[in-house]
Amino acid sequence: MDKGRYLIEELCALTGLTRRTVRYYVQEGLVDAPAGRGRGGYYSDRHVAQLARIRGLQEQGYRLDAIRGLLGRSAPAESPTAAPGTNAGAPRSSPASSWTRHAVAPGVELNVSAEAGAKLGPAVTAALEAVRSIIEREGGRDG
């Protein structure tokens, strides 16, 4: 059982997120709902860990739809997010797939489908680190 028991204000102070963001993540099914209802609702250390994991993945360049796949969570039945295939500007192999863009270096990026990101998350992270390392090494050479 989690030791921590936090009101939303305390959770926000711990995580650096806004109330709106926390509630959105709960609504989207990325974070478990708080225990209790209304003003009596509270969050636990598990919620803190879930939010930290989401933030860490976002810092690595993952979008929320890819994070959902990595966390093994499904989208809520009546999500207010855009319908599949309406993510303007994102590359896609089929109308229903979504992609995450990873900036590697100025002018260099890696695009990973949500499906591949969910299956290969650690491999994608390792590949990004390797490519960044190579670019840093090669960028230091005059050629």
Please tell me the predicted confidence (pLDDT) of residue 109.
82
Please tell me the predicted confidence (pLDDT) of residue 20.
94
Please tell me the predicted confidence (pLDDT) of residue 49.
93
Domains of the chain in sequence order: 1-59 (1.10.1660.10), 90-143 (no CATH)
What six digits make up the tokens of 108? 């260099």
Q: Distance between terminal CA atoms of the chain?
A: 59
pLDDT per residue, tens digit, the chain (143 aa), is 446 899 999 999 999 999 999 999 999 999 999 998 877 789 999 999 999 999 988 888 888 888 888 888 776 664 444 444 434 333 333 344 577 777 787 788 888 877 777 777 788 888 888 888 888 888 756 54
Please tell me the predicted confidence (pLDDT) of residue 79.
42
Q: What Rg, from alpha-carbon coordinates, does the chain have?
A: 18
Please tell me the predicted confidence (pLDDT) of residue 80.
43
How far apart CA 5 and CA 68 sit, in angstroms, is 25
How far apart CA 63 and CA 102 sit, in angstroms, is 10
Residue closest to 64 by CA, chosen among 109, 10, 100: 100
| Stated pTM of the model | 0.53
- Residue-by-residue DSSP string for 46-97: HHHHHHHHHHHHHHTT--HHHHHHHHT-PPPTT--SPPTT--TT---SSTT-
